[in-house]
Amino acid sequence: MIRDTKTINSIVVHHSASANSTIQSIDRNHRYRLHPYPNGYGYHIAYHFVIDKEGIITKARPLKEVGYHAGNWGVNKTSLGVCLIGNFQYEKPEKKQLQALKNLIVELISGLLNDNIEMFGHKDIKPTSCPGLNLYPEVVKIKEVIENENHEEIEFLSSMWTEIEENKINAEQTMIRIGQRADLLRSLGFQNDDPKIQFLKKLWLDLDEERNDIQQTQKELHDRAELLRKS
Ligand SMILES: [Zn+2]
């Protein structure tokens, strides 16, 4: 079933329930149980993303295709499924897997989707042990970290917006502030592909190469704050 990606309002996190799962084994399993016909990526996998123990993310189903991963039709229709390989009832998720999960969620919230996105563990939807005793609390933690980071970023964007509005900083000073902020985020461990840093880089380059004037920059600060408020 095809849907408008704007209707997506939640992300459901699963585990594969076996330490030895591979894309191929999940594909075979879901082919028999759930999706006899291949999706737009050629898989039968119900999840939209699978994250292996190295933190490598496989796109297993196009976002616009509904996957039968949650065991609840209403939720399937409006959600994305993300599966981490492992049985987290017994083992612990790898750091790389959790980092990849967080990056993926941030990217989905800030880039692809513009609705109010909620994040769940599968057991929030129906009685199941999925995503396992050792992963579920990490899902809750990631959710909190993202909320705090969003809150902090909105504060920064709003304060810059206000300073421009009150003519306290010109284009050049704005660029310095943007650069300092990016340095701070890098020192906190954010990578260059993080959406927060990418946004700052684009803002800086647009000013530097005179694609944007200060008013346009101010508008983009506002738009990003609005996007974060919604997520
Ligand atoms: Zn599950």
Per-residue pLDDT tens digits of the chain, which is 231 residues long: 999 988 899 999 999 999 999 999 999 999 999 999 999 999 999 999 999 999 999 999 999 999 999 999 999 999 999 999 999 999 999 999 999 999 899 888 766 555 578 899 999 999 999 999 999 999 999 999 888 888 999 999 999 999 999 999 999 999 999 999 999 999 888 888 888 899 999 999 999 999 999 999 999 999 999 888 876
What are the residues whose beta carbon lies below 5 Å from ligand 1 (ion)? Answer: 14, 122, 130
How many beta carbons lie within 10 A of that of residue 208, not counting itself? 13
Instruction: Please give the torsion angle defined by the CA atoms of residues 136, 140, 142 and 146, in that order, rounded to the nearest 10 degrees.
Output: 160
- Cα(124) to centroid of ligand 1, in Å? 10
Q: How far apart are the C-alpha atoms of 178 and 204, rounded to whole Å? A: 7
Ramachandran bin of 47, using left for φ above 0, alpha for ψ from -120 to 50, beta for the remaining angles: beta
**Residue 49 DSSP SS3:** strand
CB 97 within 8 Å of CB 64: no
- Cα(199) to centroid of ligand 1, in Å? 33
- Cα(72) to centroid of ligand 1, in Å? 11
Query: Given this model, what pLDDT does residue 231 score?
Result: 66
- Cα(13) to centroid of ligand 1, in Å? 7
Query: Given this model, what pLDDT does residue 124 score?
Result: 97
Edge to edge, the sheet with strand 79-84 lists 57-59, 49-51, 79-84, 10-15, 118-121
Query: Given this model, what pLDDT does residue 111 score?
Result: 64
Query: Given this model, what pLDDT does residue 218 score?
Result: 96
Query: Given this model, what pLDDT does residue 195 score?
Result: 84
Phi, psi of 102 (to 5 degrees): -60, -45
- Cα(149) to centroid of ligand 1, in Å? 27
- Cα(4) to centroid of ligand 1, in Å? 23
